[in-house]
């Protein structure tokens, strides 16, 4: 009997379909339908009799759930195992299911922090900061970069899984995955720190003090030279005195005082409060609604 | 909104709904969904700005473990439709954006209920797949998978169509009738809400070991000259240096009787 082999075209078909893994996500067996859907091109190629095809379909409708991207190396390994089996190697059903279950847990633990909590926040923040100025490059950059990274990852890790086969379990236990997760969480925390500083905005409006400044500490608007000469003189004084030079009275707000400690100080406190509340199992949705309420109350009583 | 615009909005909503579950192409992310709705309704710039603002809030929204985040797909689509409706003569763009975000967030809670509904309806669907597999019927398995994906698209497309039916006058007059403290307060709230998404990310990744990197990121971000790309470069470098040094420290501890001096160990080996 001639050996059946999965060609690159077959593997690409599987890779394409694998993108729809979560489509039939259900509370019973989670991603099983999408997994089976992705395996169909390979099953068609490897098995010719109706009984074998039916058995293979049923085998791949078992419970499955992991992160949708790191699932790619798992499906690669499974392709290799199915290929061996179709060529007569004694690969049991339980071995295939065992590889799937054994890999999905640890890999999901890498996929979530790397993709959802590091790469997406970084690319999203990059695109969003451009988009907030109305720049179309922002959304395009996010969309293109994300999909290039994602597709490259899906294809190359699937190929890696297919080539390494069941040996992959050894590679996984090596330190590489741990290292990737560690780098991702360091980078993620660093970027989240800067995002909190830049994009969580709280500003308190109460005025702490109003001081009438000494002569010379403000621009004497009434006695400026006429015409362009006056503008020049005002600008010169402004650059020497800073923003407090614009008015006779120097107004200090609560926010100004807080910003002197470090800009964004209250934003960090708010973020840490949210962390605590989330840890106490308060739903993020409840916190979000409360923050809107606080904002409205704050504006109504004029302290925010 | 003209007939063609409404059809295109519903198509975008359908894509966003599909992606809300697939999470591959990211059509459900505000940056993409709001921009697309802005383009098909003739308000591209406002759509992009809305997308950027909402994206900043939704950066950390992902369902992991017990924490369930608001539904980004419905929040993006609903806020974009409300904003487009509210953009009439005499409405300030910034107000329209911040109020539509505030209105869309409660709606995205309703989206969670729809998600749960779809995931339950999918159970009988996979049972139909089982039946098809029993007969070795490839077409049957494929058909149910595709129907399940479409169901997720419809999940967002129907609410979007319903929002499109609300007359624009009603939205505009509602926005204009809103007192300053309400509109302003929603904007203030919107500024704070981003903290929740960031807190979700922190809770996922924080260990005593990585907190110092949070502090570094926070303090360095005060320097306005550093763009996000620059900050990213600093972050990557710090991570590589840290992990690299840790590796070296571990090797030093393991060999040479734990002298703690890797260079010395190498020299001793000669």
From chain B, pick out residues whose CB is under 8 angstroms from the CB of A126. 228-229, 232
Write out pLDDT tens, residues A10-43: 999 999 999 999 999 988 888 999 999 999 999 9
Look at B23 and A124 and tell me if their CB atoms are within 8 Å: no
- Ranges in chain B, pLDDT < 50: 256-258
What does the pLDDT look like over B110-165, one tens digit per residue?
778 888 899 899 999 999 999 999 999 999 999 999 999 999 999 999 999 999 99
pLDDT digits over A37-96, tens only? 999 999 999 999 999 999 999 999 999 999 999 999 999 999 999 998 898 888 888 888
* B98: nearest CA partner in chain A: A292
Using pLDDT thresholds of 50, 70 and 90, give the confidence band for residue A284: confident
Average pLDDT estimate for A207-225: 76
* pLDDT at position B256: 45
- Contacts for A271 with CB less than 8 Å, ≥ 6 apart: A196, A200, B195, B198, B199, B202
pLDDT of residue B257: 45
Return the residue of A nearest to B216 by Cα.
Answer: A190
Domain boundaries along the sequence of chain B: 3-205, 207-270
Across the interface, whether the CB atoms of A112 and B62 are under 8 A apart is answered yes
Residues of A in contact with B202 (CB under 8 A): 189, 192, 271, 275
Query: Over 80: is that where the pLDDT of A171 sits?
Result: no
Model ipTM value: 0.84
> What pLDDT, on the 0 to 100 scale, is given for residue B65?
54
Q: Tokens at residue A181, please?
A: 């997760």
Interface test with B, best of A121, A186, A273 (most B CBs within 10 A): A186
Decide which of B157 and A214 is more confident: B157
The rounded distance, in Å, linking the Cα atoms of B114 and A96 is 34
Mean pLDDT of A236-265: 77
Higher pLDDT among residues B105 and A280, named by residue: A280
The pLDDT confidence band at residue A1, using thresholds 50, 70 and 90, is low
Alpha helices in chain B (DSSP H): 3-22, 30-40, 44-58, 72-86, 93-134, 138-165, 168-177, 180-205, 211-220, 228-254, 262-269
Helix B228-254 to helix A120-131 angle (10° resolution) is 160
Name the nearest CA neighbour of B231 among A259, A144, A258, A194: A194
Closest CB to A193 among B196, B203, B218? B218
Query: Closest partner residue to A112 among B31, B187, B204, by Cβ?
Result: B204
């Amino acid at each position: 009997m001639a050996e059946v082999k999965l060609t690159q075209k077959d593997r690409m078909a599987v890779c394409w379909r694998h993108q729809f893994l979560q489509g039939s996500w259900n509370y019973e067996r989670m991603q099983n339908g999408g997994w089976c859907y992705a395996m169909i091109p390979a099953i068609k190629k490897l098995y010719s009799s109706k009984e074998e095809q039916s058995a293979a379909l049923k085998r791949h409708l078992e419970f499955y759930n992991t992160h949708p991207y790191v699932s790619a190396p798992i499906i690669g390994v499974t392709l290799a195992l199915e290929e061996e089996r179709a060529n007569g190697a004694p690969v049991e059903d339980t071995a295939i299911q065992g590889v799937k279950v054994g890999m999905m847990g640890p890999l999901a633990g890498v996929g979530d922090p790397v993709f959802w909590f590091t790469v997406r926040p970084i690319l999203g923040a990059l695109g969003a900061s451009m988009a907030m100025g109305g720049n179309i490059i922002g959304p395009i950059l996010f969309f293109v970069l994300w999909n290039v990274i994602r597709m490259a990852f899906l294809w190359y890790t699937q190929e890696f899984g297919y080539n390494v086969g069941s040996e992959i379990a050894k590679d996984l236990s090596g330190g590489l995955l741990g290292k990737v997760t560690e780098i991702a969480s360091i980078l993620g925390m660093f970027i989240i720190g800067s995002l909190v500083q830049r994009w969580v905005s709280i500003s308190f409006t109460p005025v702490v003090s109003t001081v009438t400044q000494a002569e010379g500490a403000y621009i004497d608007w009434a006695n400026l030279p006429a015409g362009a000469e006056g503008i020049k003189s005002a600008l010169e004084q402004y650059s020497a005195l800073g923003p407090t030079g614009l008015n006779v009275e120097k107004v200090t707000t609560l926010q100004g005082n807080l910003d002197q400690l470090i800009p964004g100080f209250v934003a960090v406190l708010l973020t840490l409060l949210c962390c605590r509340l989330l840890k106490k199992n308060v739903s993020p949705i409840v916190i979000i609604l409360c923050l809107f309420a606080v904002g409205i109350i704050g504006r109504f009583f004029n302290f925010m | 909104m003209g007939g063609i615009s409404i059809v295109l909005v519903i198509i975008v909503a359908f894509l966003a709904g599909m992606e809300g579950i697939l999470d591959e192409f990211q059509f459900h992310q505000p940056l993409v969904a709001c921009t697309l709705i802005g383009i098909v309704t003739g308000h591209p710039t406002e759509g992009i700005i809305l997308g950027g603002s909402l994206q900043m809030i939704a950066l950390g929204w992902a369902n992991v473990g017990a924490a369930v985040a608001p539904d980004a797909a419905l929040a993006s689509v609903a806020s974009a439709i409300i904003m487009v409706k509210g953009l009439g003569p005499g409405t300030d763009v910034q107000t329209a954006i911040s109020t539509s975000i505030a209105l869309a967030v409660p709606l995205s809670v309703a989206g969670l209920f729809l998600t749960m509904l779809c995931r339950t309806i999918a159970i009988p669907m996979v049972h139909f797949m089982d039946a098809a597999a029993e007969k070795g019927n490839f077409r049957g398995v494929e058909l149910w998978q595709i129907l399940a994906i479409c169901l997720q698209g419809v999940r967002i497309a129907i609410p979007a169509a319903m929002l499109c039916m609300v007359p624009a006058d009603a939205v505009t007059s509602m926005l204009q009738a809103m007192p300053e403290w309400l509109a302003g307060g929603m904007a203030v709230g919107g500024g704070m809400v981003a903290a929740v998404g960031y807190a979700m990310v922190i809770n996922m990744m924080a260990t005593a070991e990585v907190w110092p990197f949070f502090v570094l990121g926070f303090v360095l971000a005060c320097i306005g000259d550093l763009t996000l790309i620059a900050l990213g470069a600093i972050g990557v470098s710090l991570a590589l240096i840290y992990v690299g040094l840790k590796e070296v420290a571990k090797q030093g501890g393991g060999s040479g009787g734990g002298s703690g001096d890797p260079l010395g160990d190498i020299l001793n080996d000669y």
